[in-house]
Amino acid sequence: MTQPWPELDPVIHAQARLRVMVALSTLGPKDQLTFPRLQQLLDMTAGNLSTHLRKLEEAGYVEITKTHERRTPVTYVALTPLGRRAFEAYTEGLRALLGPRGEPP
């Protein structure tokens, strides 16, 4: 009997959100990116990125912080601890899905 197929998190599985999670996962636990920098890295429109960030924020995977530097509004995006764990579980599920499938222990 083979092992069951791993469940992949549907919030992360969408291509654009997966790209966001990959980019943010490269940061340290306390680090964050500005919205424009993330937009530039992912080559996404502001509207598209906002839509996907909202979905990730609703799931508790990212944290959005809006502030001002001098008189300029700045938006920061960071991966939450829950988001980091969800991304690790997602990548483990992918590895299991793509790896050899043998008999369960």
pLDDT score recorded for residue 2: 58
Concatenating the DSSP letter of every residue in 32-95 gives -EEHHHHHHHHT--HHHHHHHHHHHHHTTSEEEEEEEETTEEEEEEEE-HHHHHHHHHHHHHHH
pLDDT score recorded for residue 104: 47
Which positions of the chain have pLDDT values less than 70? 1-3, 101-105
* Range 20-97: architecture per CATH: Orthogonal Bundle (1.10)
pTM score, whole prediction: 0.86
Amino acid at 13: H
pLDDT score recorded for residue 12: 97
pLDDT score recorded for residue 82: 98
pLDDT score recorded for residue 91: 95
Q: What ranges do the domains of the chain cover?
A: 20-97
